[in-house]
Amino acid sequence: MDKRKIENNKSNMPKKTKYIVKASLLRMGVILGLLIFFFVLLVGRIGYIQFIQGAWLKQREYRQSTSNTVISAKRGTIYDANGKALAISAAVDTVSVNPEYINVKKDGVTDKEATAKLKEKMAKAFADIFELNYDDVLAKLNSDKSVETIISKVETDKVEVLKEWLEENKATAGVNIDEDTKRYYPYDNLASNLIGFCGSSNQGLDGVELSYDNVLKGTNGKLTTAISVTQDAIPDQNKEYIEPENGSNIYLTIDSNIQSVVEKYLKQAVEENNCSRGGNAIIMDPKTGEILAMATYPDYNLNDPYTPNQTIAEGFDELSGQEQTNRLYSMWRNRAVLDNYEPGSTFKVITASIALEEDITETDIAGDFYCSGSQIVANRTINCTSRSGHGSQSLRKAIENSCNPALIQLGQRVGASNFYKYLRAYGFFSPTGIDLPSEGESSFWAEENVGPVELATMSFGQRFTITPMQLVKAVSAIANDGILVTPHVVKEIENPDTGAKNTIETVQEKQVISKETATKMREIMQSVVEEGGGSHAKVIGYTIGGKTGTSEPDPNHLENGYVASFLAIAPAENTKLVTLLTLYGPRGSSYYGGTIAAPVVSQILSEVLPYLNIPSNGEESEDTSKLITVPNVQNKTLAEAQKIIQSAGLTYSYVGNSNEIVTEQMPKSGAKLVSGGIVKLYTEGNDERVSQTVPDLKGVTLSQAKNMLKAKNLNISSKGSGIVISQEIVAGTSVDEGTIINVTLQDAISQGQH
């Protein structure tokens, strides 16, 4: 049919037919257009998924088909100066579940009844193995969450029991067991406020654990494995293992034996004197800056740091969450570094050193100062501890008498400008630099605001505050021929893989006073103990220097009470130790530092000086002329140890067999015992301590005290004559056999000095 004929046929079509054809063609065009549109849209979507979302989707698919397990790095061990482990990390596991993958399927469909029974069975197993609440565990297994933690940091022996149960019951799907580490502190409360503790993620939260967290924590590793849809590992698939880098070990300057001695006597002093705000003590080597002991009491158990100690436990459960947190923070505080206080008369050695360095006075100028019992400053009367007055005095006598008017007169001669120059030099306006977190700050008047009254009170140690650590650092300069050093508690850092050690070197900051001035000050401090108010700090066989301190309550905080303290240097000539004991708010029969703090320092040094093998000056009293030095028998067989002890004139008691090696002895080598004193020996594998209850010795004679202690296999060390007026361990306390009980005898108790 030719074109013309077709056109003629179209023209001859009815109008209705023409309309239908036209509509059909239009509809076909629309459909074709839509098809083209959706095709372009599909191609665009494919391109978007391929090129834009491709990497993300690939990563998502990878995550869904792989399991990434964190391999925890082992936190470094904290040792004391002798290599005794004080903080260790042990291998533990964390158990978690993916509830959606714990199910029972029949013909590819979840059997709800069978799944419920399985979860009930698993909940009982978890509860029994880990001693958990059954209902709590079942709720986690039925949770809508993707992951629920059943228990964290559980010992591996319990996890092994769980693994066996899961295998036997073919219930491993949806259960995750991840390796982890847990921090342990073998000695519970020892040095707790200094060491600090870790959080649930093994991060340091306080003390050395916090300040050296980056050194101790190491870097976690990772294990990547292929898994099925039920979260089971697919065997023989590629694995990626990144080995963890364990944290470095730390060796402290703290000697745990010295720390134990300090804590023992500090606890006793706080309890016997009913100190409402506790106490603290520091022992530092003035030449190196090493802290040998630092104690705060009350302390707490490092293995259970969130359980309140006896001091804050009363009414704890009734407090709000924030109030409970505040109380716990107060329990954790290392008060020797964080808290400031008015140092009182211990600060007089600083004032005196400034005056001597500035050549304002000399040690023994007769009549250089006069005390009538009070001093008038700017129309204000400031009293001396001796209301009758001390009369004419030299500087030495003024410090021996702890005379406030004499120190006021000395401060007036020094002047505020000079005073503040030396305060800066001694480091009182800045942190000590000790390697512990969050040092406290001192509080002094601004120099331009120091008037006559402020200068007067400052000269004898009141109406300003410093930290105990700041005072120990400053006085250590006097003990170290005038050279100020930075205190520190870490001695070495050890690489756990190579054993290489990085030693923390002594940092000498500056020469604050001359060697000559420092020597004069040490002589004055020795006079305080031998002739003045510090007589209760004497240690037989050693020259001790010291200064008493009793600061009055702050008028704005009278409830805080007095602060009694004693500052000591030992030996006085070639000083090896600077010791400060501070008691806050004593409410016993006395609040004077010379009465309640000085004897405690004497007890501490009586044990620490021989332990450190610091030679005595050979001076012995009648009662101590026959003292015997306890030999070191550790690492010898029990039979050998017995012979050595007997030949020394001592007796022994033991736990173990004759062919076993002695691992512990009480007392330690170097201690002094009277003839016939007892040494308790323990051998390897037989180290369970034998204890005795300390009897009440107060009021009895020396002979009676010896017999009472001998009956309990305990030793005695005494000073003075007459009857027992104090004993180093409270009656009724349980102690190891062989422990030395220090007693003080006196005909009458003399009043301690300010």
Average pLDDT over residues 503-510: 96
96 with 141: CB under 8 angstroms? no
Task: Say yes or no to pLDDT of 658 above 60.
Answer: yes
Give per-residue pLDDT as tens, 268-315.
999 999 999 999 999 999 999 999 999 999 999 999 999 999 899 999
- Cα–Cα dist 6/510, whole Å: 118
The structure tokens listed for 73 are 């790095």
pLDDT value at position 754?
Answer: 64
Average pLDDT value over all residues in the chain: 88
Residue 380, phi-psi category: left (phi > 0), alpha (psi -120 to 50), beta (remainder): beta
Choice between 244 and 411, residue whose per-residue pLDDT is larger: 411
**CA 157 to chain centroid:** 30
Same structural domain, 452 and 569: yes
Task: Say yes or no to pLDDT of 98 above 60.
Answer: yes
The structure tokens listed for 452 are 């006559």
pLDDT value at position 8?
Answer: 52
Same structural domain, 566 and 627: no
- Cα–Cα dist 309/425, whole Å: 40
How many domains does the chain divide into?
Answer: 4
pLDDT value at position 397?
Answer: 96
Please report which confidence band the pLDDT of residue 19 belongs to, taking 50, 70 and 90 as the band edges: low
520 with 572: CB under 8 angstroms? no
Task: Say yes or no to pLDDT of 443 above 60.
Answer: yes
Residue 548: enclosing H or E segment and its boundaries? Answer: strand 545-551
Q: How many CB atoms lie within 10 A of CB 26?
A: 10
Task: Say yes or no to pLDDT of 749 above 60.
Answer: no
78 bridge partner residues: 87, 250
- Hunting for tokens 């092994």 — which residue is that? 160
Strand, helix or coil for residue 429 = coil
Average pLDDT over residues 683-707: 84
Same structural domain, 473 and 386: yes
Strand, helix or coil for residue 358 = coil
pLDDT value at position 433?
Answer: 97
Q: Which of 252, 282, 300 is the last residue of a domain?
A: 252
Residue 300 within a domain: no
Please report which confidence band the pLDDT of residue 519 belongs to, taking 50, 70 and 90 as the band edges: very high
**CA 389 to chain centroid:** 45
Task: Say yes or no to pLDDT of 716 above 60.
Answer: yes
Average pLDDT over residues 491-506: 94
Task: Say yes or no to pLDDT of 676 above 50.
Answer: yes
Choice between 57 and 417, residue whose per-residue pLDDT is larger: 417
- Cα–Cα dist 603/269, whole Å: 11
Task: Say yes or no to pLDDT of 234 above 80.
Answer: no
Residue 293 within a domain: no
Of the listed ranges 9-13, 282-286, 637-641, 689-693, the least confidently predicted one is: 9-13
> What are the backbone angles phi and psi of residue 739, rounded to the nearest 5°?
-60, 140
pLDDT value at position 59?
Answer: 56
DSSP 26-94: HHHHHHHHHHHHHHHHHHHHHHIIIIISHHHHHHHHHHHHEEEEEEPPPPPPEE-TTS-EEEEEEEEEE
Q: Peptide bond before 298: cis, by omega within 30 degrees of 0?
A: yes
- SS3 sequence, 659-724? CCEEEEEECCCCCEECCCCEEEEEECCECCCCEEECCCCCCCEHHHHHHHHHCCCCEEEEEECCEE
Average pLDDT over residues 447-464: 97
- Cα–Cα dist 331/412, whole Å: 41
466 with 428: CB under 8 angstroms? yes
Whole-prediction pTM:
0.74
Residue 319 within a domain: no
Q: Which of 569, 593, 611 is the last residue of a domain?
A: 611
Choice between 68 and 638, residue whose per-residue pLDDT is larger: 638
- Cα–Cα dist 205/198, whole Å: 5
Residue 327 within a domain: no
Q: Which of 208, 223, 252 is the last residue of a domain?
A: 252
Of the listed ranges 6-20, 169-183, 330-344, 701-715, the least confidently predicted one is: 6-20
632 with 611: CB under 8 angstroms? no
Residue 366 one-letter amino acid: A
> What are the backbone angles phi and psi of residue 23, rounded to the nearest 5°?
-65, -40
- Cα–Cα dist 158/338, whole Å: 41
Residue 391, phi-psi category: left (phi > 0), alpha (psi -120 to 50), beta (remainder): left
Choice between 424 and 115, residue whose per-residue pLDDT is larger: 424
Give per-residue pLDDT as tens, 341-373.
999 999 999 999 999 999 999 999 999 999 999
Task: Say yes or no to pLDDT of 338 above 50.
Answer: yes
580 with 346: CB under 8 angstroms? yes
Same structural domain, 180 and 241: yes
Same structural domain, 425 and 516: yes
Residue 296 within a domain: no
Average pLDDT over residues 509-519: 97
**CA 584 to chain centroid:** 20
Please report which confidence band the pLDDT of residue 432 belongs to, taking 50, 70 and 90 as the band edges: very high
Same structural domain, 646 and 517: no
CA 103-108-109 angle, to 5 degrees, is 60
Please report which confidence band the pLDDT of residue 200 belongs to, taking 50, 70 and 90 as the band edges: confident
pLDDT value at position 229?
Answer: 47
Handedness of CA 633, 639, 642, 643 (dihedral sign): negative
Task: Say yes or no to pLDDT of 701 above 70.
Answer: yes
- Cα–Cα dist 624/718, whole Å: 8
Average pLDDT over residues 431-441: 95
pLDDT value at position 281?
Answer: 98
Task: Say yes or no to pLDDT of 474 above 70.
Answer: yes
Of the listed ranges 10-24, 53-67, 555-569, the least confidently predicted one is: 53-67
Q: What percent of the chain is modeled with pLDDT above 90? A: 64
Task: Say yes or no to pLDDT of 60 above 70.
Answer: no
Q: Where are the beta strands (DSSP E) in 227-290?
A: 240-242, 249-252, 279-284
Strand, helix or coil for residue 465 = strand
204 with 198: CB under 8 angstroms? yes
pLDDT value at position 685?
Answer: 79
pLDDT value at position 529?
Answer: 95
Give the length of the chain.
754
Task: Say yes or no to pLDDT of 22 above 60.
Answer: yes
Kindly give the interhelix angle for 416-426 and 468-479, rounded to the nearest 10 degrees: 90
Average pLDDT over residues 228-254: 71
- Cα–Cα dist 186/303, whole Å: 9
Same structural domain, 528 and 673: no
**CA 250 to chain centroid:** 14
- Cα–Cα dist 609/249, whole Å: 29
CA nearest 495: which of 253, 247, 183, 254?
A: 247
Task: Say yes or no to pLDDT of 228 above 60.
Answer: no
In terms of DSSP bridges, do strands 175-184 and 734-736 run parallel, antiparallel, or are they unpaired? Answer: unpaired
pLDDT value at position 230?
Answer: 46
Same structural domain, 36 and 111: no
Average pLDDT over residues 206-225: 86
Give per-residue pLDDT as tens, 587-640.
988 999 999 999 999 999 999 999 998 887 754 443 455 789 999 999 999 989
Of the listed ranges 100-114, 204-218, 591-605, the least confidently predicted one is: 100-114
Residue 308 within a domain: no
Task: Say yes or no to pLDDT of 448 above 70.
Answer: yes
- Cα–Cα dist 228/136, whole Å: 28
pLDDT value at position 541?
Answer: 85
pLDDT value at position 2?
Answer: 54
pLDDT value at position 55?
Answer: 63
Q: How many CB atoms lie within 10 A of CB 116?
A: 15
Task: Say yes or no to pLDDT of 427 above 90.
Answer: yes
pLDDT value at position 109?
Answer: 84
Same structural domain, 31 and 149: no
Contacts with 552 (C-beta within 8 Å, 6 or more apart), sequence order: 342, 344, 462, 562
**CA 75 to chain centroid:** 16
Give per-residue pLDDT as tens, 124-161.
999 999 999 999 999 999 998 888 999 988 888 889 99
pLDDT value at position 165?
Answer: 93
What range defines the domain where residue 688 resides? Answer: 620-754
- Cα–Cα dist 670/292, whole Å: 18
Residue 183 one-letter amino acid: R
- Cα–Cα dist 599/268, whole Å: 12
Residue 311 within a domain: no
The structure tokens listed for 476 are 């250590």
Same structural domain, 467 and 606: yes
Q: What is the dihedral of CA 363, 367, 370, 371, to 10 degrees?
A: 80
- Cα–Cα dist 745/57, whole Å: 84
83 with 247: CB under 8 angstroms? no
Average pLDDT over residues 433-440: 95
Same structural domain, 244 and 363: no
Q: What percent of the chain is modeled with pLDDT above 70? A: 89
730 with 268: CB under 8 angstroms? yes
Residue 58 within a domain: no
Same structural domain, 196 and 144: yes
Q: Peptide bond before 615: cis, by omega within 30 degrees of 0?
A: no
Strand, helix or coil for residue 5 = helix
Q: How far is CA 521 from CA 122, 545, 572, in A?
A: 74, 9, 10
